[in-house]
A and B are shown apart, each in its own frame.
Chain A
Amino acid sequence: QFVLTQPPSVSGAPGQRVTISCTGSRSNIGAGYDVHWYQQFPGRAPKLLIYGNINRPSGVPDRFSGSKSGTSASLAITGLQTEDEADYYCQAHDNSLSALYVFGTGTKVTVL
């Protein structure tokens, strides 16, 4: 069901840099489709964090950055803060028969 693979969890101390990978295939990220990232706190709806691989919506701190290469993408949090502890999901279009739009498996970020 999930065709974008993320690590289940990453952790870091306040101020550190953490990265979350999102691994896809030639039918989604590798086909040139944009990757988008969402942040979700427990009991809350997801919030758009990065769109079009690298763009931040208004109001998103610049410590969040995105990148994409080949069949993978990454979200980096530089200068980790306690309020960044949340779940993070990547998302992209997929041109196979599995689905039109797919989300990643999700990554829990823990601030130590």
Chain B
Amino acid sequence: QVQLQESGPGLVKPSETLSLTCAVSGVGISTHYWTWIRQSPGKGLEWIGYIHYSGTTNSHPSLKSRVTTSVDSSRNQFSLKMTSVTTADTAIYYCARGSHSDRGSYYDYWGQGTLVTVSS
């Protein structure tokens, strides 16, 4: 049974760095595209970016300069770092498993989500 679990601080100060980790169980992290998606309070879903075990990464153009994703295969987990956060980055952050084809990816397993509030 595939399970994903986000962890990290729930409160981050403006201009600081948001750091989240997603622990994966039930499947090895050496397959699929491991993805971060967020949802601002009461709003829709926004794709942040992904990382593949091979090291391939990509991220939303509007966030690319602030986002770094990494994978730790020894711990079967992957991480997100977002620098210089503002209140606009307040959201529920989800990690998800992406199943990829040449016609795009879909997300078949999701973490429960973790609320990150940016506030001083």
- A interface list, Cβ under 8 A from B: 1-2, 32-34, 36, 38, 44-48, 51-52, 57, 89, 91-93, 97-106
Contact = CB atoms under 8 A, between A and B. Distances in A.
The 8 closest A-B pairs by CB, nearest first: A93-B104, A36-B106, A103-B45, A101-B47, A45-B110, A51-B106, A34-B103, A33-B104
Contacts of B111: 45
Given A38-B107, A99-B47, 6 more contacts: A34-B101, A45-B110, A45-B112, A100-B47, A100-B58, A100-B60
B47 A32 contact: no
B47 A34 contact: no
A36 B101 CA distance: 13
B46 interface: yes
Interface string B55-74: 00010111000000000000
Interface residues of B, number: 21
B94 interface: yes
Interface of B: 44-47, 58, 60-62, 94, 99, 101, 103-108, 110-113
Residue among B45, B46, B113 with the most chain A CB within 10 A?
B45
Given A2-B44, A103-B46, A104-B44, A98 B61 contact: yes
B113 A51 contact: no
Nearest to B95: A45
Contacts of A92: 104
Given A1-B46, A102-B47, A47 B110 contact: yes
